[in-house]
Chain A
Amino acid sequence: MELTFWWVLPMALVMAGAAFWWGLTRYKQGNARRRPVAYGDRLTALPEYQSAVRRYRRWVTVMAVAAGMLIAACAVAAARPAERSTVRPEQQNRDIVLCLDASGSMSSADSAVVETFGRLAQEFDGERIGLTIFDSTAVQVFPLTDDYEYVAEQLEEARRAFDGESEAAGFLDGTWGGEGSSLIGDGLASCVRSFPGADGQQGAAQPRSRSIILATDNYLSGNPIFTLAEAGALAQESGVRIYALNPGDYDFGSDPGQPGAQLRSVAEKTNGGYFVLDDPEAVAGIIQRVQATEASRFQGSPRAVVADRAEVPLAVALLSGLVLAGASWRLKP
């Protein structure tokens, strides 16, 4: 807390002193225009007069204190108390693609992911979010967008589909057309390609952080065009970080060929993260962490921010002004 115009305070002090002095001399000279009388104790000794004087004095004290506080608070407010702080503004120019494996084993994790993002989307401001689901083929449900209303609507739809509600079953249409199922490499590649500028226009505008939330158990059945490693390399090339959520990491031992380990290595190569989901409830927490990491990775340069903090003095001034008004109304002769 500092004062922008600190010199207002000494000035106000000097002026208040001058006003006080002027008032005092006026009071002292005031007897020139008052009538001198003898035996003032004829009046001042009366208990009725004394109690009236006590009451009067009490109100005058209230008034003086209120006036003093009003002046002090106004002087402080005029000196513009300001808070100078350095902030690292969090730039909200992230792009997030939710890349969900729509195979049957994943539905509870998928449901948790879309539900969490549905909630997060309400607080987004500037982020773009896209959704791609894949099984044997990948379907882009919606591309990167900041139309959060639409996003929330679609994510709700997705949640209902993943929860197995019958009227939303059509949502997953188009993911089974290809050969095999859970072609994770293809799905991830599709997701990576859904970022704009992947075809060489990148860097035209402000750089945006890119991340993929990949929910899969990495149980491949079929013959994908891209292997997981190839898709990971593509992501790395495009500057996309992959956060993998695995609801069924049943790896045993430290063999790098196992599905969980593969997924971990791909995610970590892209500077992303790998999370094992024991419980769909934990998705929310994981996504928070992912968001936080992303946020801390993508902060603007520190800036000094000066904010006027005149609320307290102004509130005090208002309050004492009201008291002053009340007291002067009460003292009205």
Chain B
Amino acid sequence: MTTSLVQRVKSKLSIFAHRKARGMLDGEYGSVFKGRSLDFEDLRAYVPGDEVRDIDWKATARHGSPLIRRYVAVRRQTLLLVTDTGRNMAATSADGEDKKDIAVMALGILGYLALRHRDVVGLVAGDSAGSRSLPAKGGEAHLERLLREVHSRAGLSVPPSDLRVQLEHVARNYRQRMLLFVVADELLPDPGMEKLLRRLRAQHEILWLTIRDADLGAPGEQYDVADSLVLLSHLAGSEEVRRAYGLASAERTAGRVGMFRRLGIAEVTAGSSHEVVPAIFSLLERHRHGR
């Protein structure tokens, strides 16, 4: 790999920042934690996404344009990136990209936003065989290390995916309140998972990004990463199977969305790395309004 993963994330962000107002994401990220300290640091110009209640109205009246009060965080917040590096991540996404590239992009963007807010970023990643956790630290070099861990770990030869192992690891080993950013794929929700998430939700802020999986009815030969069996796409293309598949996947999505709604966890989906930045933006937005 020639370019660093963080570099890639930054260039993606800069493209986005040109299109929308610069700093918008920063504002959104900054409002994720309600429990920041109120030690005033300075004023800065308002950008869309900032909490309205942070506006310094007097200063604004003097200045003529909205100004935001900035506070010094007494303690750094911790962003814990939780993701799956099992075999599923080596599969392709809805738009044909590797799922792990999208995951790295999403993790990188949120991690980078956290670094800009002088927060520390940690990682819990793994597969059904176990989880690895990297301690929360600041600095781009550390973020690069985390992203590389995710990028190099996921492959076709690693054990199958099971995100519950990682979530349990988080539930067991982290006592402090954190912002969890979970990047997963279209997993099938079940009561056990829901219970586990409810438990995590009580302790942490949770942001969830779902990478959309490839459409199995699409033309072209495909095989399942779980068992290397070929999917007979020409059979999947038949009218009857196509209809049943459409129904089943709508039901699956509805089940997942329903679980997150019940839990009050903001969830967005992304099918390609181009969708990641807007997806994270709307994720932060929804998280803010979600309660």
A contacts, CB < 8 Å to B: 30-31, 33-49, 52-53, 56, 333
Are A46 and B96 closer than 8 Å at their CB atoms?
no
Q: What's the least CB distance linking B244 to chain A, in Å?
A: 4
Are B161 and A38 closer than 8 Å at their CB atoms?
yes
Given contacts A39-B186, A48-B243, 11 further A-B contacts (CB under 8 A): A30-B221, A33-B221, A34-B220, A35-B92, A40-B223, A41-B224, A42-B248, A43-B236, A44-B229, A48-B240, A49-B235
B222 contacts which of A35, A46, A56 (Cβ < 8 Å)? A35
Q: Residue-by-residue, is B100-144 near A (CB-CB < 8 Å gives 1, otherwise 0)?
A: 000000000000000000000000000000000000000000000
Interface presence of B90 (CB below 8 A): yes
Residues on B with C-beta less than 8 A from A52 are 232, 235, 238, 240-241
B contacts, CB < 8 Å to A: 87-92, 96, 99, 156, 161, 185-188, 213-214, 216-217, 220-232, 234-236, 238, 240-241, 243-245, 248-249, 252
Are A48 and B230 closer than 8 Å at their CB atoms?
no
The 9 closest A-B CB pairs, nearest first, are A40-B224, A38-B88, A38-B91, A333-B234, A43-B216, A34-B221, A48-B244, A52-B235, A37-B214
Q: What's the least CB distance linking B212 to chain A, in Å?
A: 11
Give Cα A37–Cα B244 distance, bound, in whole angstroms: 19
Q: What's the least CB distance linking B158 to chain A, in Å?
A: 12
Give Cα A53–Cα B248 distance, bound, in whole angstroms: 18
Q: What's the least CB distance linking B86 to chain A, in Å?
A: 9
Give Cα A204–Cα B222 distance, bound, in whole angstroms: 87
Are A42 and B220 closer than 8 Å at their CB atoms?
no
Are A44 and B224 closer than 8 Å at their CB atoms?
yes
B249 contacts which of A35, A42, A48 (Cβ < 8 Å)? A42
A35 contacts which of B221, B235, B243 (Cβ < 8 Å)? B221
Residues on B with C-beta less than 8 A from A47 are 244
Are A43 and B245 closer than 8 Å at their CB atoms?
yes
Nearest neighbor of B188 in chain A, beta-carbon distance: A39
Give Cα A127–Cα B252 distance, bound, in whole angstroms: 92
Are A38 and B245 closer than 8 Å at their CB atoms?
no
Nearest neighbor of B88 in chain A, beta-carbon distance: A38
Nearest neighbor of A332 in chain B, beta-carbon distance: B234
Residues on B with C-beta less than 8 A from A37 are 91-92, 213-214, 216, 222-225, 231
Residues on A with C-beta less than 8 A from B220 are 34-35
Are A43 and B156 closer than 8 Å at their CB atoms?
no
Given contacts A37-B91, A37-B92, A49-B236, A31 and B228 within 8 Å (CB-CB) = yes
Are B236 and A38 closer than 8 Å at their CB atoms?
no
A46 contacts which of B88, B224, B248 (Cβ < 8 Å)? B248
Given contacts A31-B228, A42-B252, A52-B235, A36 and B222 within 8 Å (CB-CB) = yes
Are A44 and B231 closer than 8 Å at their CB atoms?
yes
Q: What's the least CB distance linking A56 to chain B, in Å?
A: 6
21 contacts between A and B (CB under 8 A): A34-B220, A34-B221, A35-B214, A35-B221, A35-B223, A37-B213, A37-B231, A38-B88, A38-B91, A38-B225, A39-B188, A40-B222, A40-B229, A42-B216, A44-B224, A44-B229, A44-B231, A46-B241, A48-B241, A48-B244, A53-B232
Residues on B with C-beta less than 8 A from A42 are 186, 213, 216, 245, 248-249, 252
Q: Which of A33, A34, A36, A45 has the most C-beta atoms of chain B within 10 angstroms of its own C-beta?
A: A36
Give Cα A333–Cα B240 distance, bound, in whole angstroms: 15
Residues on A with C-beta less than 8 A from B87 are 38
Nearest neighbor of B90 in chain A, beta-carbon distance: A36
Give Cα A53–Cα B235 distance, bound, in whole angstroms: 7
Q: What's the least CB distance linking A30 to chain B, in Å?
A: 7
Give Cα A44–Cα B244 distance, bound, in whole angstroms: 11
Q: What's the least CB distance linking A134 to chain B, in Å?
A: 90
Residues on A with C-beta less than 8 A from B249 are 42
Give Cα A160–Cα B203 distance, bound, in whole angstroms: 125
Are A40 and B231 closer than 8 Å at their CB atoms?
yes
Give Cα A37–Cα B235 distance, bound, in whole angstroms: 16
Residues on A with C-beta less than 8 A from B234 are 333
Are A34 and B241 closer than 8 Å at their CB atoms?
no
Residues on A with C-beta less than 8 A from B224 are 36-41, 44
Give Cα A46–Cα B161 distance, bound, in whole angstroms: 22
Residues on A with C-beta less than 8 A from B222 are 34-37, 40
Residues on A with C-beta less than 8 A from B240 are 48, 52
Residues on A with C-beta less than 8 A from B243 are 48
Give Cα A162–Cα B90 distance, bound, in whole angstroms: 105
Are B241 and A38 closer than 8 Å at their CB atoms?
no
Nearest neighbor of A39 in chain B, beta-carbon distance: B213
